[in-house]
Structure 1
């Protein structure tokens, strides 16, 4: 018998079911090829039906729990597969490896339908950690045979259009260009001649402006046989509606069933009390659930219900950085809105929000701000029989609340140092005690801010706050805003 094997079509179906049970992708789960002591390229050849070394073939099967490799292999001698029938993988090194992937069957089916229909541009949006990149990696496993070239670009640093063009052209073995027009013409020619799949992962992370997204929009206007997939945390300008050539899909959290499978893979049995509450608390965010489970297992010995009873969220540093990057790009109005939502800690109607803004803003402008925050996947919409209300996603609520308290404390420290109340911006524009309440929840932000300041000023905090209050003098109500109210309630404690 030859020292090489290839999988039969039936065998590949068996392996496919085995890897799905583990939550693995076909080629992007690093553990698979690492445990099989082989490479990603070899695993890809296995899925393409190419012959690979017998020992590696057996190892690939064994890693997913298949010991009867004979049932997977096609044991008859056949000619080698013609490599021209399969895609040429170019510039794939920026594609990340995956630990696991669960669910998303409906989303993958929808994406496959769009690709098959000849859609030229697809944008996948969703909050950080929701699984946009993972979804694309899983999708590529299913559709790679439809393309001649597959290119993956991840955005971590500012990138100009000309740099992106030359990067793509280099991957396609084309010459560099020195202007966008020439580069676009050259790229479109290649997209027309060959069926290419181009993935631009995290296109919104490199700049506040829409330069790159506008460029992608223009590419979708040309007639070509290729597909460009972008992932972003906010809806792009060109994806207001789905058309034959441009499509948009927004990812939400995993379903309860899918999230339970993820938690089982992380060491839970699936029968622990509080698992469904945990899934709801994190809104099915895969990265959020992956990051909190080690904490529950180490600090609470796996007792999920005890963690839930703490009435808090643990946001890993990785997810915190992802969301804070998005918050840093908000406009002043958008930041004002999310701070108010963090103070309320519960859904608030548009009309109620409008009445608490310090400076009267045109309702249409405020509404546009809410729409932008929704497009950025930061808000949750609550619809009742009477009105629509808005709140922050729990993960966002935690990060925004922490940021609000941190920035408010810094403002007071700057005023104390410089004796200038112009540094009080948050305390001027936001009443930190939730309006109309005197309960513990309503005082939560005030209490946390007070404790933070007490660690800085100790027992002298009341005197510090009193001195700041004196600085308000006879200034106008608009220039003072909520300052006096905030300083008074901060200073009132035993």
Structure 2
């Protein structure tokens, strides 16, 4: 059923700033009843408001009466400029009470139709020439109904789309543009409130069929940011999102929906690729990273700049590290990379935690194996490494997990080993450092728990993963594993215990626990022996 609404208005972003300044200049707090009293006098001057309010005060009325359309809640909505209010109240009461011309404050027709209020602010944009060109071409073609841009957090998905919206040819192609964030996983009816704009305020019903009707009637570009928040939700109330995307892809219309996600949505695999496109964003190339460094005032030798670009190519991480370099070293890289190979501070670790915690246990364990092999893990090696696990991976499980980490989560890449021409699986160096830190920290915690409880559960990391893999022809890798895994775990454990001797004695107690015949030892004996040997050589 269609419901006809009264005309409504909302302030623009500029108008919101004017409102806030005018209110501050007046000096009254938001809840001050004088706002409502003055607005009532302006809106209905024929009434004797002083007498009305005086009578109500004497009668101990719970609330005063104001002019029609005037209330504290409406006043607050007006100030927030998020929601539309009655046009007469907007123009003839609230704007005059602030001494503002309503035409300077109101959101105009272009702003209303091209609703980019939720668009992230765009800082300096670097590179992405090919991706930018490809996305612009897709948006200008009539055939693409659904476009998915995906990649790890901070890689620049929102920035890429924001840059495209600077192209007026693209913007002018569409009658309506809406950018909505899914950060807090709104239910679909909450998201579809923009249907009121599409219907010129004549529709209050917000469902998929209504939206599809408007996507057919007008050229709309709907941008949904943070789609991974919907992927991570289960339950009936979120299934309509998938239904919406399937209908967008399959039904005829003249609009386009653009999804931005840290994860590749599984449903696009079943859709017609003539109507649906996906674009995976990787790290910036070396030239773009160097352009960024130059703009940010970071300097060093050519080799040092090359090292930086090889280590950092995620724009969010780059900005974080550059800010730290400017603060601590005045922007000078020289000498820093000799002491600190990869920076993973608390902010970067917290940022990566968000993505890491979305993985299954199988996917997490596989990342640990790739990190253990220091970016040189082949399929054969991974299959061999996991054989001793408490629950060995089948070939199918291994392939599915690798595919998920490569294509869905964009966390690992496949490349060729130049020496033997084998495919190897690698991690971005920042992610490699983060995963290694996680592996070391979890092993330490599990060992300390065993020392306290005197019991091995059998699902600990040092049971399922070997600290030093079988590397008969790669002594350099063995040395790296000794230094970055065994020694790192030893140092962390030593910080909790009194001496090397105490640590060695406690580790020997763990070996004695292996006499439990029901326990599957996995890599326990091998790993604890490496730690004991490291104590002896310290």
Normalising by structure 2, we get a TM-score of 0.70
8 A contact 1:214–1:237 mirrored in 2: no
Pick the aligned partner of 1:276 from 306, 318, 329: 306
* Residue 316 to residue 154, structure 1, CA distance change in 2 (3 Å): farther
Query: What does residue 465 of structure 1 align with?
Result: 507
Question: Cα offset for 1:303?
Answer: 3.4
1:390 is aligned to 425
Tell me which residue corresponds to 2:210. Answer: 186
- Which string of whole-angstrom CA distances, capped at 9 and with x for unpartnered residues, describes residues 155-210 of structure 1? 2233434443x444356457555xxxx71101111111121111111101354358
Deviations 1:14-45 (A, max 9, x none): xxxxxxxxxxxxxxxx9xx9xxx999xxxxxx
Q: Show the 5 A alignment for 1:323-472.
A: 323-357=352-386, 358=389, 359-375=391-407, 376-384=409-417, 386-422=421-457, 424-436=459-471, 437=475, 439-443=478-482, 444-459=484-499, 460-472=502-514
Note if 1:152 corresponds to 2:179: yes
Please state how far the C-alpha of 1:262 moved relative to its aligned partner.
1.1
Aligned to 2:195: 169
TM-fit CA distance, 1:273: 4.5
CA shift, 1:153, in A, is 1.6
Deviation at 1:275, TM superposition (A): 0.7
Structure 2 unaligned segments of length 5 or more: list them.
Answer: 1-12, 20-107
CA distance in structure 2 between the aligned counterparts of 1:226 and 1:316, rounded to whole angstroms: 43
The C-alpha deviation readout for 1:289-318, integer Å capped at 9, x for no partner, is 211112233434433242222352113544
Matches within 5 A, 1:39-438: 86=110, 88-89=112-113, 92-118=116-142, 119-142=144-167, 143-164=170-191, 166-169=192-195, 172=198, 173=201, 183-208=207-232, 211=239, 212-213=241-242, 215-240=244-269, 243-268=273-298, 273-282=303-312, 284-310=313-339, 312-357=341-386, 358=389, 359-375=391-407, 376-384=409-417, 386-422=421-457, 424-436=459-471, 437=475
Q: Distance in 2 between matches of 1:313 and 1:482?
A: 29
Give how far 1:260 is off: 1.7
Cα distance between partner residues in 2 of 1:94 and 1:342: 38
Bigger CA radius of gyration: 2
Is the Cα–Cα contact under 8 Å of residues 208 and 244 in structure 2 kept in the other structure?
Answer: no
CA distance in 2, matches of 1:402, 1:324: 12
Gaps of 5+ in 1: 1-29, 40-82
Shift in CA distance, 366/401, structure 1 to aligned 2, threshold 3 Å:
same
Offset from partner CA, 1:47-100 (integer Å, 9 cap, x none): xxxxxxxxxxxxxxxxxxxxxxxxxxxxxxxxxxxx76x563465332221222
Q: CA, structure 1 residues 242+303, in 2 after alignment: closer, same or farther (shift >3 Å)?
A: farther
For residues 496 and 308 of structure 2, what CA distance do their matches in structure 1 show? 35
SS at match of 1:260: helix
Distance 1:242 1:260 in 2: 39
TM-superposed deviation, 1:396: 1.3
| Distance in 1 separating the partners of 2:327 and 2:216 | 54
Distance in 2 between the 1:167 and 1:315 partners?
41
Partners of 1:355 and 1:198 in 2: CA distance: 47
Distance in structure 2 (CA, Å) of the matches to 1:104 and 1:214? 32
CA contact (8 A) 1:158 1:207 kept: no
**Contact 1:272/1:304, CA 8 A, preserved across alignment:** no
CA distance in 2, matches of 1:214, 1:307: 51
Partner SS for 2:278: strand
Contact 1:431 1:482 (C-alpha < 8 Å) held by counterparts: yes
- Is 1:480 the counterpart of 2:489? The answer is no
CA distance in 1, matches of 2:204, 2:506: 62
* 8 Å contact from structure 1 (residues 90, 150) kept in 2: yes
Q: Is the 8 A contact 2:228 2:263 kept in 1?
A: yes
Greater Cα offset, 250-259 or 237-246: 237-246
The 3-state SS of whatever aligns with 1:304 is coil
Q: Please say if residues 415 and 424 of structure 1, whose CA atoms lie closer than 8 Å, have aligned partners that are also in contact.
A: no
Q: Distance in 2 between matches of 1:270 and 1:175?
A: 60
- CA RMSD, aligned part only? 2.8
